[in-house]
Homo-oligomer: A and B are copies of this chain.
């Protein structure tokens, strides 16, 4: 029952949205999600499991996707892990060209679908069929292997302020935060990176998306910017201080990618419009990596 991937989605895309994407006016980000899923003929599935108000969420996206011209849009209403192992639900993912995860609470989303057959089928959709997976707010944070589960947004970074959980693992070695500038979450993201320099922090503003084309490159869309915080070169005293204290952080690397930024991995076939800044190379390799089905 596998369908042929649309040519535009051959590599599989992630559309990682910082929340509050426009759903009523230009719908620029949702339109791009649809386009990357194959256009108006794409079969879109909406997963509302992050939200306790699933039906309301569905109505919002049902209307928005219909406005964009999508003809086949389906609500996957998952209320239990049993639902996420149910054959009919899995079949919906198998048939989908685009899978969209709404906002809510990423812990709830993972508690319902993490490690289920539906989770595995989403990986197959992305990696083998080149489907497009979109997620906004909680649905964005859920995409990485290490997931920002919860944390206070303090004025300064704090040891122990943030706890991580296991996310869906569509991309690795990163942690994703959303509503980033609007909710002033840099200190929170620095708290994660200070304690986990293995992870590069990605902060996505509202109505802004980081689009990842697997194996190819990234692009920033929408009204805001994407902030990347890289602590791998950092020196810090975080191991020696107590919880709730502010760590010393020396040499954190910060990148700000405004909307319109577009970077491709270097390859033989394409001459990119502009050279990839070297400090972004490893970030790009990480997020565009074609991780195998696990």
Chain A residues in contact with chain B, CB under 8 A? Answer: 155-157, 181-182, 184, 186-187, 190, 205, 224-225, 235, 245-259, 261, 277, 279-280
Contacts and interface: CB of A to CB of B under 8 A. Distances in A.
Given A155-B182, A155-B205, A277 B255 contact: no
A255 B251 contact: yes
A187 to B, nearest CB: 7
Contacts of A279: 235, 250-251
17 contacts: A155-B205, A156-B205, A156-B224, A156-B225, A156-B258, A224-B246, A225-B246, A235-B279, A247-B256, A249-B255, A250-B255, A251-B254, A251-B255, A251-B277, A251-B279, A252-B254, A253-B253
Given A248-B261, A277-B235, A277-B251, A190 B256 contact: yes
Nearest to A154: B181
A184 to B, nearest CB: 5
A195 to B, nearest CB: 13
Contacts of A187: 181
Nearest to A224: B156
A261 B249 CA distance: 11
A136 to B, nearest CB: 18
Contacts of A157: 256
Contact of A258 (B247, B253, B280): B247
Contacts of A155: 181-182, 205, 224
Contacts of A277: 235, 250-251
A239 to B, nearest CB: 14
Contact of A280 (B250, B253, B261): B250
A16 B252 CA distance: 24
A248 B186 CA distance: 17
Given A156-B225, A182-B155, A246-B225, A255 B252 contact: yes
A55 B88 CA distance: 77
Contacts of A250: 255, 277, 279-280
Contacts of A181: 155-156, 187
- With a 10 A CB-CB cut-off, give which of A225, A235, A252, A254 has the most chain B CB atoms: A254
Given A245-B258, A247-B256, A250-B277, 9 more contacts: A155-B182, A155-B205, A155-B224, A186-B186, A248-B257, A248-B258, A250-B255, A252-B255, A252-B256
